[in-house]
A and B are shown apart, each in its own frame.
Chain A
């Protein structure tokens, strides 16, 4: 078992996302530490990709800035190793499949293990293609985090059965990004997942206010916040860690 379950032990988890290398690796490291100090329970680190098709405009921007600062996979591994000297907080990667296919699956998961990564989210690797990496990821004890969408319906059963780490429940249709209102009946999706697996279920996509965080943490095991954090990093650049700390603290307080 990976470290991920610790994020959910006797508490609702706050999961914060940022893109590695936005605007540079040093700032990313400071933001991760700030999030942890503000009470985040799990950190999701995005590996930049040229064509992030599941992302909205805010995280697309983060990918562009990270690639402009020439962030590559080896830099992201160095970042995790460096973060690991300060904290044991569970860390998962979010990456599209091509950069890791290109790096070589064996090489990638082996390095994940060495660096101290606990899990991986791959938006363009659905259940049907999971075999691509499943055995290699298992060999190095890296959890593949499964996504469940509002459109998953009868697919929920097989996806949840196979889930490891936590289940990522997508709250809304479309791509990542802050939403004023979330209208999907996420609660019944969570209920269904809970009937099938003991793996914790966290909700993401669109969550950005403390009220939303409170509401969604009440019906699940945790909330995932990405675009709102990235927006702060976009606005404050190298000065972002302090503002990220304040924001995460406010959000975490709302879900306790």
Chain B
């Protein structure tokens, strides 16, 4: 396997203008990933700023209600800024600092990665600019203000479908404009090498903790680990340290929107084809001419037409499986977890909760499911109310 690829997936399909900087990033990451001072600094931030380790919570009410497998929630929603995104951002922002960069830029869909990036920039004294599709700035208006409050400049992207894909395009264009003092802090396990590896490594702390926590609590490994996938960073994070435990089923839940038989979905694994886009060879939703397709999901964070290359590889080798979850199923799970456990999940994470609800009842009572609760749902409350026909002011 080439070092830039996972099987046939991955690579570095980006303009020449960015190549030198991508190679600089790779060199810097190789240098610092095993550097004692870098790791001490990062661990300090993760512990005392982000609040790690995150809890592995036994969802007793949900377990009793579903009357099957034991359900645990890996509570990434309890991290500072409210999602798993901070794990990667602290790593990359610190790396930017070590590389002598003055400025970080990032794309965002739901706004979680943008908020996390703006937060890290404020903390570490870096300039910050966020690119967000105009459509997303409307459905996640609260997060736009939050980023501005943190001192970031938010650019509303009006090209293309005005969502996450276009935000990535615009962030790449801006990076090509200014690499010397700027690092692009990519938010998911996607894009050109080395981003899929860097982001996965920084997110793998989720499964490093979860594996140890479940062994402490149950003295055995889980039967299934479930996470939502857009680009796939929280899923890669919670899968990674279980990949060699062949008995643990790894399941990614992608956004089926209004249904995979409609044209309103973002189900890359179910409906996509192999292609090359955003710096990587992977699977993409695209039309018959290879034009990247407009995708749809109620969840801005899963509204992306591609998926990280390592996921495409895990699918191809059969190590992980990927299932589509509709808007309706996700919204029901959003409401279910709120009422059952008193935990309001991000609508993205609710896709994983929905699949657990489907499979838990038919599993044995001594079997275990871990759900990656990748983020908190406060940001989604207004749009879920709207989905249910109630208009409320945020």
Contacts and interface: CB of A to CB of B under 8 A. Distances in A.
Q: Do A and B come from one complex?
A: yes
Interface of A: 49-51, 53-54, 56-57, 60, 67, 72-73, 97-103, 123-129, 146-153, 155, 159, 170, 173-175
A149 B17 contact: yes
A101 B275 contact: yes
A102 B18 CA distance: 24
Interface in B165-196: 165-166, 169, 172-173, 176-179
Contacts, number: 111
Contacts of B289: 72-73, 99, 102
A129 to B, nearest CB: 6
A175 B169 CA distance: 11
Contacts of A150: 17
Interface stretch (B6-14, B62-70, B329-337): B6-14
B176 A126 contact: no
Given A124-B279, A151-B21, A50 B159 contact: no
Contacts of B14: 124, 126
Given A151-B20, A175-B173, A53 B291 contact: no
A174 B20 contact: no
Given A50-B160, A128-B4, A175-B173, A101 B276 contact: yes
SS of B interface (majority)? mixed
B286 interface: yes
25 contacts: A50-B291, A53-B169, A98-B275, A98-B276, A98-B290, A99-B290, A101-B274, A101-B276, A123-B16, A124-B13, A125-B13, A126-B13, A126-B14, A128-B12, A129-B13, A146-B16, A147-B16, A149-B17, A152-B16, A173-B17, A173-B177, A174-B173, A174-B176, A174-B178, A175-B177
A173 B12 CA distance: 19
B19 interface: yes
B178 to A, nearest CB: 7
B303 to A, nearest CB: 15
A151 B14 CA distance: 13
A155 B277 contact: no
B36 to A, nearest CB: 30
A51 B277 contact: yes
A164 to B, nearest CB: 16
Contacts of B12: 126, 128-129
Nearest to A103: B290
Nearest to B17: A149
Given A98-B286, A101-B275, A125-B13, A173 B178 contact: yes
Nearest to A173: B177
Nearest to A168: B16
Q: Which 7 A-B pairs give the minimum distances between C-beta atoms?
A: A102-B290, A174-B177, A149-B17, A99-B290, A50-B291, A147-B16, A151-B20
A90 B284 CA distance: 34
Given A50-B292, A129-B11, A98 B277 contact: yes
B15 interface: yes
Contact of A102 (B13, B172, B275): B275
Identify the interface centre among B159, B274, B289: most chain A CB within 10 Å of its CB.
B289
A146 B19 CA distance: 13
Nearest to A52: B169
A123 B292 contact: no
A252 to B, nearest CB: 27
B291 A49 contact: yes
B179 A151 contact: yes
Given A51-B277, A153-B20, A173-B176, A126 B292 contact: no
A98 B292 contact: yes
Nearest to A101: B276
Given A98-B276, A126-B12, A155 B19 contact: yes
Contacts of B292: 50-51, 98
Contacts of B172: 53
A45 to B, nearest CB: 16
Contacts of B21: 151
Identify the interface centre among B20, B274, B291: most chain A CB within 10 Å of its CB.
B291
B254 to A, nearest CB: 20
A102 B286 CA distance: 9
Nearest to A123: B15
A97 B279 CA distance: 10
Contacts of A49: 291
B165 A149 contact: no
Contacts of A60: 159
Given A72-B289, A125-B13, 10 more contacts: A51-B166, A51-B292, A54-B176, A97-B276, A98-B276, A101-B275, A101-B276, A124-B276, A126-B13, A152-B19
Nearest to B176: A174
Given A49-B291, A97-B276, A128 B160 contact: no
Interface in B72-123: none
Nearest to A170: B17
A102 B146 CA distance: 41
Interface in B134-173: 159-160, 165-166, 169, 172-173
Contacts of B15: 53-54, 123-124, 126, 147, 149
A67 B17 contact: no
Contacts of A173: 17, 176-179
Interface string B209-246: 00000000000000000000000000000000000000
Contacts of B4: 128
Contacts of A126: 12-16, 19
Contacts of A103: 290
Identify the interface centre among A57, A98, A173: most chain B CB within 10 Å of its CB.
A98
Nearest to B13: A124
A100 B278 CA distance: 15
A103 B165 CA distance: 22
Contacts of A53: 15, 169, 172-173, 278
B103 to A, nearest CB: 14
